[in-house]
Amino acid sequence: MEPRSLFWPLAWLLFYPVFTLTCNMMDQYQNNGRCCDKCPPGSKVESDCTESTATQCTACNNGEYQATWNQEKACHVHHYCDHNAGLIVKTKGSSTADAVCDCEAGRHCSSEECATCVKNTPCAPGYGVIQEATQSSDTKCQPCPTGTFSDISSSVKPCHNFTRCENLGMVEKESGTSSSDVICETRKHIAIIVSAIVISGLVLVALLIIILRYRSWVKKKMQLQVVYQVF
């Protein structure tokens, strides 16, 4: 190949970078060989720039948003927080920000996308909450340890310690379980029971003594009658 035939291809390769269009991609975009200005947050491109006109922008419609400088011809629709799916609006959307949804009280997200919310699982009696549900996780339960109990089904209540009857000036009548507290009773009640038992015992002893003495008296009387008959 002749050297002259290589001149133009080499020249094009040498000077091509000089004529390459370079736009500031932060706030511009390329269109038909031109650098057009992007539209600011809260708006969209209505028409691209031309040789004689700049980019034409228009505000996003109600219920739509654009969060950044953009070259989009349409705005994004606000996320819909469906009450029937257990969602509530945490942050209302604007022209520059999407709406933020949250689960209503007593519910948590069913997936990472949080398209729906499900009810928090309650811990059954005999189990207590060790970690309440969050927006992304369910309730965590554990069996009540020895000395504690839970007598209700709850998604927020932990296990409680047994009542200490002695702190109330009472005595324990019935032991507690994992699902029931101990039962206390007053010391006065115990004293009455003990007194009744003692008195009952004394009465029985007294009756026994009376019966024995009566039988002894009857026996002696009969013996005297026999003596009188002999004489």
Q: Do 125 and 161 fall into the same domain?
A: yes
Q: Do 82 and 65 fall into the same domain?
A: no
- Cα(66)–Cα(76) distance, rounded to whole angstroms? 6
Q: What tens digit of pLDDT does each residue of 114-132 get?
A: 899 999 999 999 999 999 9
Q: Do 128 and 186 fall into the same domain?
A: yes
Q: What is the largest CA-CA distance in the chain?
A: 182
Please count the structural domains in the chain.
3
pLDDT score of 164? 96
Q: What tens digit of pLDDT does each residue of 28-86 get?
A: 999 999 999 999 999 999 999 999 999 999 999 999 999 999 999 999 999 999 999 99
In a domain, 219, yes or no: no
CATH number at residue 98: 2.10.50.10
Average pLDDT over residues 82-104: 95
pLDDT score of 41? 98
Q: What tens digit of pLDDT does each residue of 159-170 get?
A: 999 999 999 989
pLDDT score of 8? 56
Q: Do 134 and 171 fall into the same domain?
A: yes
Q: Do 54 and 22 fall into the same domain?
A: yes
Question: What does the chain come to in residues?
Answer: 231
Q: Do 85 and 34 fall into the same domain?
A: no
**φ, ψ (nearest 5 deg) of residue 229:** -70, -30
Domain of 143, in residue numbers: 121-193
In a domain, 9, yes or no: yes
Q: Do 102 and 141 fall into the same domain?
A: no
Q: What tens digit of pLDDT does each residue of 181-194 get?
A: 999 998 766 666 77
In a domain, 212, yes or no: no
Q: Do 85 and 96 fall into the same domain?
A: yes
Q: Rounded to the nearest 5 degrees, what angle is found at the Cα of 102, between the Cα atoms of 75 and 59?
A: 15
Which has more pLDDT, 193 or 171?
171
Q: Measure the CA dihedral 56/61/64/68, to 10°.
A: 20
Q: Do 130 and 184 fall into the same domain?
A: yes
In a domain, 22, yes or no: yes
Tell me if 105 sits within 8 A of 87, measured CB to CB. no
